[in-house]
Amino acid sequence: MTPGAADLLLVIDVQVDFLPGGALPVRDGDAVVAPINALQRKFRHVVLMQDWHPADHVSFADTHPGRVPFETVALPYGSQVLWPRHCVQGSPGAGFAPGLATDRASLVVRKGLDPRVDSYSAFLEADRTTRTGLAGALAERGITRVVLCGLATDFCVLWSALDARAAGFDVWVAADAVRGIDLDGSVADAWSRMEAAGVRRIESAAIA
Residues marked as catalytic = 13, 111, 156
| Residue 88, phi-psi category: left (phi > 0), alpha (psi -120 to 50), beta (remainder) | beta
Q: Report CA 47 to chain centroid distance, whole Å.
A: 11
In this structure, are strands 78-81 and 107-111 parallel, antiparallel, or unpaired? unpaired
What angle (nearest 5°) sits at the alpha carbon of residue 76, between those of residues 108 and 166? 50
Helix axis angle, 158-166 to 186-196, nearest 10°: 10
Dist CA 100 CA 16 (whole Å)? 10
Q: Is the torsion defined by CA of 65, 66, 71, 73 positive or negative?
A: negative
Q: Residue 22, CB half-sphere, CA atoms under 13 Å: how many? A: 29
Dist CA 154 CA 174 (whole Å)? 14
Q: Is the torsion defined by CA of 11, 186, 155, 171 positive or negative?
A: positive
